[in-house]
Chain A
Amino acid sequence: MKCRVCGKPASLSLRAYNTALCADDFIAFLEKRVLQTIRRYKLINTGERPLVAVSGGKDSLALWTILNRLGFAADGMYIDLGIAEYSQTSYLKARAMADELNRRLFRFSIPKVFGKEVAELSRITRRPPCSLCGTVKRYAMNRVCVTEGYSVLLTGHNLDDEASALLGNILYWKEEYLWKKDVVLEGQGSSLAKKAKPFFLCSEREVAAYALLKGIDYVYEECPYAVGARTLVYKNVLNQIEEMSPATKIMFLKGYLKRLRSEPKREQATSCIACGYPTYTEKCNFCSLMDRVGGDQRFAVDTYDPAETRMEPGETRPDNHA
């Protein structure tokens, strides 16, 4: 196959677009697509400061890279789940990217707040690790946005993540979640940051190819709790359909966005009586968790700033044996 733009041998076939591109033209294509998504759905407006949720995986590191290449001065935010080797490795990858982009990286640490890692919290509260992780992530990301003055939180959710979640919500008619998966979710005053997903229309394969071609060093292993997730089954099913009829996933999501615009707006949240962040109950999930298991938030967040860590000549960073 030849690159449709320059005629050189192609590196990637894009069947959903009925085309094939060489490495350089694919990189340009994906970056343009992200910029179009940002503009078309107003993910980042002029004057809005973006923060990227960074896990150390391919999606978030690719997103962080693209945003900076497109001229958005985006800093990063990492959540430390305290999962021995996995958290250590993924944080180092995130930090290496902070160095490369010369951007700040905030870290919210679950073990520092609770003195326990996710598995132990899960045992105590009898809640699945992913559900706890979700509660803490939502709170922590929003907290850093609000206290550090970022107006929009960007996540690396891609086309496959969104299409599989949508399929799951439809299969079991989870109507309480069904209409909450927009490409952009507006914030609420100064207590809730806006959230957006610039990879909403980019497939996981495209994002992985971008990461590979840009030489992005990401954690290939997954969070141990992701293993056996239903998401994988949905993604596989969707990809089988995609092989039969290319562009099905993107049409599925575009159709969703169209229908979403005609749905009535959801109810407004009230403020948590403890922390003031939006919630649909009296106290937000995070504050209820703090009540239940106890915790100390004084050292919850630390900041890594490449500009502040200038090294002496000949000094090497004591990291990354991975």
Chain B
Amino acid sequence: MTTLSVLCYLIRMKVEWDGRSYDIEKRMTGRKLLESFNLSREAHLIVANGKLTTEDQTLNTTDTVRIIRVISGG
């Protein structure tokens, strides 16, 4: 394996959700990401690299993503 492909293999999307951090190996849309966590699109927002993004946007393995819950119970 070349150095480059090793690096690619090591680079993973960082996802922060509910106070925990997850590493995701594949690139995928925000919609798929929410689905993989079993979360509703109506109840969550996706922030990629500090910017609010729509769910159709593809998130790359180099991205740092934060999922924000918008629903409160008060």
Contact = CB atoms under 8 A, between A and B. Distances in A.
Interface of A: 1, 10-13, 20, 23, 55, 57-59, 160, 203-205, 207-209, 212-213, 222-223, 226-229, 231-232, 235-236, 239-240, 242-243
B43 A205 contact: yes
27 contacts: A1-B57, A10-B54, A11-B51, A11-B53, A11-B54, A55-B74, A58-B72, A203-B42, A204-B43, A204-B70, A205-B42, A205-B43, A205-B45, A208-B45, A208-B68, A209-B52, A209-B70, A212-B68, A226-B73, A227-B73, A228-B73, A229-B74, A231-B73, A236-B40, A236-B71, A239-B40, A243-B41
Contacts of A227: 73
A243 B54 contact: no
Contacts of A229: 73-74
Given A212-B45, A239-B43, A222 B73 contact: yes
Given A11-B53, A213-B52, A226 B74 contact: yes
A11 B49 CA distance: 13
B55 interface: yes
A20 B54 contact: yes
Interface in B21-74: 40-45, 47, 51-57, 68, 70-74
A13 B74 contact: no
Interface of B: 40-45, 47, 51-57, 68, 70-74
B56 to A, nearest CB: 5
A232 B45 contact: no
B22 to A, nearest CB: 19
4 interchain residue pairs of minimum CB distance? A208-B70, A239-B42, A229-B73, A226-B73
Main DSSP-derived SS at the A contact region: helix
A139 B36 CA distance: 46
A223 B74 contact: yes
Contacts of A55: 74
B73 to A, nearest CB: 4
A204 B45 contact: no
B45 A235 contact: no
Contacts of B72: 57-59, 204, 222, 226
B45 A209 contact: yes
A212 B66 CA distance: 12
A58 B69 CA distance: 12
Contacts of A235: 43, 71, 73
B74 A243 contact: no
Given A1-B57, A235-B43, A235-B71, 11 more contacts: A11-B51, A13-B54, A57-B74, A59-B72, A205-B70, A208-B45, A228-B73, A229-B74, A232-B73, A235-B73, A243-B41
A212 B41 CA distance: 16
A57 to B, nearest CB: 7
A204 B71 contact: yes
A1 B56 contact: yes
Contact of B40 (A58, A212, A231, A240): A240
Contacts of A203: 42
Contacts of A23: 52
A227 B41 CA distance: 21
B74 A212 contact: no
Contacts of A11: 51-54
A223 B72 CA distance: 10
A236 B41 CA distance: 11
